[in-house]
Amino acid sequence: MNLFVTGIGTNVGKTIMSAVLTEALQADYWKPIQSGTIEGRDAETVKSLISNNVTVIHPEAYSLKEPLSPHFAAKLEGVEIELNQIHLPKTNNQLLIEGAGGLMVPINDQHYVIDIAKQFNCDIVLVASNYLGCINHALLSIDYILRHNLKLSMLILNGEFEPEVETVITNYAKISTIIKVPTLKSLSKAEVASVALIVREQLALKA
């Protein structure tokens, strides 16, 4: 099953966790919509952080310059993002798809980032980090996923969480796999490989 990685908000470590998961699963990686290319591409970040020789990094369907929501960045460039023009890359490997921002980030006047996951019938991986407001953002995201009959296959707790915060989030719904990822000491291949081992161990325990 292909995995769709999304976050409870912006700057929760979604791209870094995508690199960790890509390395742990030796999956292919694809970011269908990339905005903010003037600041860099998430595909290049993931490529620079993985060590395995199996992963293929697939090109974006849409690549936009400004670091804004996809619909806004596209409008500035006179581009219309069309959901039916986003096609799965051809691969025999498991595919990890990274969204842009959170679930309800608009990609055009009618569709949102989560609609990409719906279109391809992906399992959802939700990334959360610990900050003031994360409980509300996490529970709203989980609630949306469940109410729309999507499969929330994995919740990644990125970094250290106070026990009270973690308990409230994880007790809200039955999530088959909860992965706890320590704060990365550095953004390097060695560190991502080390954390990927931790993730693999946790996934094996859940199997």
Residues with catalytic function: 31
Cβ-proximal residues to 70 (8 Å cutoff; 6+ apart), any chain: 33, 35, 62, 64, 81, 100, 105, 106, 107, 108, 113
Closest CA relative to residue 37, chosen from 57, 13, 64: 64
**63: which DSSP letter?**
E
Beta 152-158 vs 123-129: how paired, if at all?
Answer: parallel
Phi, psi at residue 168, to the nearest 5°?
A: -60, -40
Measuring CA to CA, how many Å separate 51 from each of 32, 98, 140, 194, 199?
Answer: 22, 19, 35, 11, 15
Residue 201, token pair as written in the block: 């161990």
Burial of residue 105, with CB atoms counted within 10 A of its CB: 0-12 exposed, 13-18 middle, 19 or more buried: buried
CA of residue 29 relative to chain centroid, distance: 10
